[in-house]
Chain A
Amino acid sequence: MRHMRVKRIEEKIFKTLMMVATLAIVVSLFMIIVAVVKRGLPAMSWDMVSKIPGGGFYIGKEGGLLNAIIGSLYIVIGSITLGLCFSLPIVLYINLYLPEKSRLAQFTRLSFDVLFGIPSIVYGAFGFTIMVYLGLRSSLLAGILTVTMLIIPILIRSIDEVVRRVPKEMKDAALSLGATRSETIRVILRQVVPGIITAVLLSVGRGIGDAASVLFTAGYTDSIPTSLSQPVATLPLAIFFQLSSPIAEVQDRAYAAALILTFIVLILSLAGRYYSRKYSKNKI
């Protein structure tokens, strides 16, 4: 009897510990958001999102962060477009053309799982060596290429997950009606559009928030670039550089930028959830 009671108490203790651990994780999320909002909100103003830095911006005078916001959007739009051009064909090839247990398909999946784990600073360094090799300077183009390398594994992994779940019968039906394999792509694609949107939102979130990859390759500038060969500012770097300033007003802008970035990422993550929920209703 006593043995049983000890067991019960042990279970109770551990169950409480587990709940505390889960609660701690949830609370830490709120702590992060509250800290960023509390510090960023007083520094926010309409100028921040509508103006590029003025003459005395870095000693605390007028101007805003529009250069970084637009720059981040340019980079993300460019790299998503480029990333889809690579990842869609690869995913469709390993799912439609290769047999189910194909070695090549498994190896491709494994290699993108592994590439997914490579830190962005390594992609940045690699991008930098390529830039030096080609004689390019830090520019919008180099930034787009590096972020593309970073997000291709994310795109492939998450699109692959939804394409794999398309019933085999659908492909068979299309083939038996006389469609070539490449024509079945249209049938499959229509099924996985919400999945692709989720994957895109996920990669936009990752691409827009990553600093280490653009640090080497995209440079920084106070103006909005008008061509691919000009350097470009990004939100994460705006935060990073302005935080290291000794002037309080400039630091405030870093906090405002952090608030903008957090806000963008939260919206993306909610939208991504909405679409994936729409796609699979019974998934928790």
Chain B
Amino acid sequence: MDKIRYNKYRQFKEFAIRHIMLFLTLLSLTFAVVIGISLYYKSIPILDQQSIWELLSGRSWKPLKGEFGFFPFIMGTLWVTGIAIVISLPLCLLSAIYLSEYAHPYIKKIVFPMIDVLAGIPPVVYGVWGILVVVPFISADLAPHFVEFSTGYSVLAGGIVLAIMIIPLMISVFIEIFDALPGGLREASLSLGATQWQTIKKVVVRKSFSGIAAAVVLAISRAFGETIAVLMVCGNVSEVPRSVFDPAYPLPALLANNYGEMMSIPMYDAALMLSALLLFVIILAFNAISRLVLIRIERNFAL
């Protein structure tokens, strides 16, 4: 009798646990939707007043007069991200090829943990490094060769700091892609008399081109949303930068700098929440696309 009751209890426990877990899983899937809706809901007031194109192309940002033009901030984000990618892409590609095709396991054993450490350093510490090293370097050593005066707090400083920050992500995805490539492809090429470099150029890189593109998109979306480190070194002047030595004001920095006063000025909070919504939508789309490409690569080569 007791045994039957015990088994009933076990069955009930099983039933309860299964359904709680299913509920949590389904709940978690609605999370992204909830974020999107609540940010949209918060930015409705400003979207009612001005069209989205007006907001995105407007050049003047004067919250007190009710002018909210996002153009300088979007340009700031694009400039900083662009420079970060230009610096980090060649570095990461070369280094990832070296680490996955040439390097001795001993070297990997030293370098991989270092890349992990680099990935773990908090953004704010990168910002501190930017202020201590990159900004003075630009204002004292680099900028005088090109422009009359630069404080160093510039697009270039933001780009350099961001470049170092996205290196770990980019390099680890690159290595994953190269490792997913079947060894037979390389052997076939080598056995036809190609040198190792020819194999890399014509087989490895060409075959993993879609993966490389996906990794770059992933890195771009990471750079897009990076806040504190960029905010600390970019100068934060709401004008469209004309050279890399001009200050910029990326979207996330706008959000982080003004949250305090946004409740006191009408429409200000809606405008800032709209910028969060923009970031969210763009990054969500970029991430989803590149993750789907990467999953497909993994599946195709897994055979």
Using a CB–CB cutoff of 8 Å, the interface residues on chain A facing chain B are: 7-8, 10-11, 14-15, 17-22, 24-26, 28-29, 31-32, 35-36, 39, 86, 89-90, 92-94, 97, 104, 107-108, 110-126, 128-130, 133, 149, 152, 180-183, 185, 202, 205-206, 208-212, 215-216, 236, 239-240, 243, 254-255, 258, 261-262, 265-266, 268-269, 273, 284
Contacts and interface: CB of A to CB of B under 8 A. Distances in A.
A25 B120 contact: no
A10 B171 CA distance: 23
Given A25-B91, A97-B18, A119-B279, A240 B228 contact: yes
A139 B230 CA distance: 26
Contacts of B218: 117
Contacts of B132: 35-36, 39
A230 to B, nearest CB: 19
A120 B242 CA distance: 29
Interface stretch (B19-27, B54-62, B180-188): B19-27
B128 A89 contact: no
Interface string B215-253: 000100110111110001000000000000000000010
Interface size class of B (residues with CB under 8 A): 35 or more
A20 to B, nearest CB: 8
B227 A212 contact: yes
A116 B294 CA distance: 15
B29 interface: yes
B95 A21 contact: yes
Name the residue among B20, B198, B291 with the largest chain A CB count within 10 angstroms: B291
Contact of B95 (A18, A152, A243, A254): A18
B118 A29 contact: yes
B25 A104 contact: yes
A276 to B, nearest CB: 10
A94 B25 contact: yes
Q: What 9 A-B pairs come out closest when comparing CB atoms?
A: A209-B122, A119-B225, A18-B98, A11-B197, A125-B276, A93-B21, A21-B94, A117-B287, A212-B227
Contacts of B90: 21
Contact of A265 (B17, B91, B120): B120
Interface string B88-127: 0011101101110011010011011111111011111111
B13 A182 contact: yes
B94 A17 contact: yes
Nearest to B280: A122
A90 B21 contact: yes
B102 A18 contact: yes
A25 B115 contact: yes
Contacts of A116: 287
B190 interface: no
A16 to B, nearest CB: 10
A175 to B, nearest CB: 12
A284 B252 CA distance: 36
B196 interface: yes
Contacts of A18: 94-95, 97-98, 102
Contacts of A212: 123, 227-228, 252, 256
A66 B286 CA distance: 40
Contacts of A211: 122-124, 227-228
A13 to B, nearest CB: 9
Contacts of A262: 121-122, 125
B284 interface: yes
25 contacts: A10-B197, A11-B197, A15-B197, A19-B98, A24-B95, A25-B111, A89-B24, A90-B21, A90-B28, A97-B18, A110-B288, A112-B28, A118-B287, A119-B222, A121-B225, A122-B225, A125-B276, A129-B42, A129-B273, A209-B123, A211-B123, A215-B256, A240-B232, A262-B125, A266-B117
B133 to A, nearest CB: 5
B38 A273 contact: no
Given A25-B167, A125-B39, A212-B256, 16 more contacts: A10-B197, A15-B102, A21-B91, A29-B114, A32-B126, A35-B132, A94-B25, A97-B21, A104-B25, A117-B222, A117-B225, A119-B227, A123-B35, A215-B259, A239-B125, A268-B120
A121 B256 contact: yes
A14 B92 CA distance: 14
Contact of A284 (B29, B105, B295): B105
B108 A284 contact: yes
Nearest to A29: B118
Given A89-B20, A117-B221, A205 B120 contact: yes
Nearest to A277: B113
Contacts of A94: 25
B11 interface: yes
Contacts of B32: 111, 114-115, 118
A244 B91 CA distance: 32
Contacts of B292: 110
A86 to B, nearest CB: 6
A243 B287 CA distance: 33
B24 A93 contact: yes
Nearest to A32: B129
Contacts of A236: 122-124, 228
B31 to A, nearest CB: 7
Interface string B132-148: 11000000000000000
B113 to A, nearest CB: 6
A197 B4 CA distance: 38
A7 B171 CA distance: 26
